[in-house]
Amino acid sequence: MCGRFTLTRPGALAAAFPQIRFEEFSETKLPSYNIAPAQRVLGVRNDGRRRAEEMRWGVRGRINIRAESIAARRGSVLRRCVEFADGFYEWRERRPYYYSLRSGEPFVFAGLWEPENGSACCDVVTCPPNALVAPVHDRMPVILRGDAVDAWLNPDPLPGEVARTLLRPLDANLMQVREVSQRVNNANYDAADALDPPEPRLL
């Protein structure tokens, strides 16, 4: 699954995604070290505007949706979106591990969205893990790169068989992982030292 992620350098997004229009934001321009469900996230809907906006993470209580469920749909996938991130957390025995790109660049998760009181709520698509994530968790978020971002944001309906080709685990060679502080275990904790090395374990 994907239950927490980061956006530590929102100022890097415009250069990394020149096809997206970034307006002036308030809180979304601040670094986030522990984004949790029900919070506001920064993303883009496939409404043709290619405009970054705030969305609420959670669709009727669902924060993740399986890629296999999307690919198996008989109809086309209509309401698609992406959420911006530069890392995500997974846990093993309450020990948090932080995954990011080796390049340090920001990236996007694939997601679906639903209208909500004039704005939008969203979830994150998950898929089977790559070799880097598998020792810690049996799912990982779908990270889209390159042409896959544009394909997912195209406003046209997307057949399930095409979605299947996009919703795959990212190449493990492009990623890195490290154990971080258990401060991040608290969903309300949002500070840079969440990414510090883990505290010494008591013998």
Domain spans of the chain, in order of start: 5-193
Provide the pLDDT for residue 135.
97
Q: Cα–Cα distance between 123 and 59 in angstroms, integer?
A: 6
Provide the pLDDT for residue 29.
67
Q: Which of 2, 81, 122, 127 is catalytic?
A: 2
SS3 45: strand
Beta strands in 123-203 (DSSP E): 124-127, 140-141, 143-144, 175-179
Burial of 95 (0-12, 13-18, 19+ CB in 10 A): middle
- Residues 41, 133 contacting (CB under 8 angstroms): no
Q: Cα–Cα distance between 42 and 64 in angstroms, integer?
A: 16
Q: What is the pTM of this model?
A: 0.95
pLDDT per residue as tens, the chain (203 positions): 799 999 999 989 999 999 999 987 655 668 999 999 999 999 999 999 999 999 999 998 899 999 999 999 888 999 999 999 999 999 999 999 999 999 999 999 999 999 988 889 999 999 999 999 999 999 999 999 999 999 999 999 999 999 999 999 999 999 999 999 999 999 999 999 999 999 887 65
Which phi and psi angles does 77 have, rounded to 5°? -90, 115
Provide the pLDDT for residue 30.
81
Catalytic, 90? Answer: yes
SS3 15: helix
Q: Which of 81, 83, 90, 127 is catalytic?
A: 90
Provide the pLDDT for residue 20.
95
DSSP state, 162? H
Q: Cα–Cα distance between 139 and 64 in angstroms, integer?
A: 10
Architecture of domain 5-193: Alpha-Beta Complex (3.90)
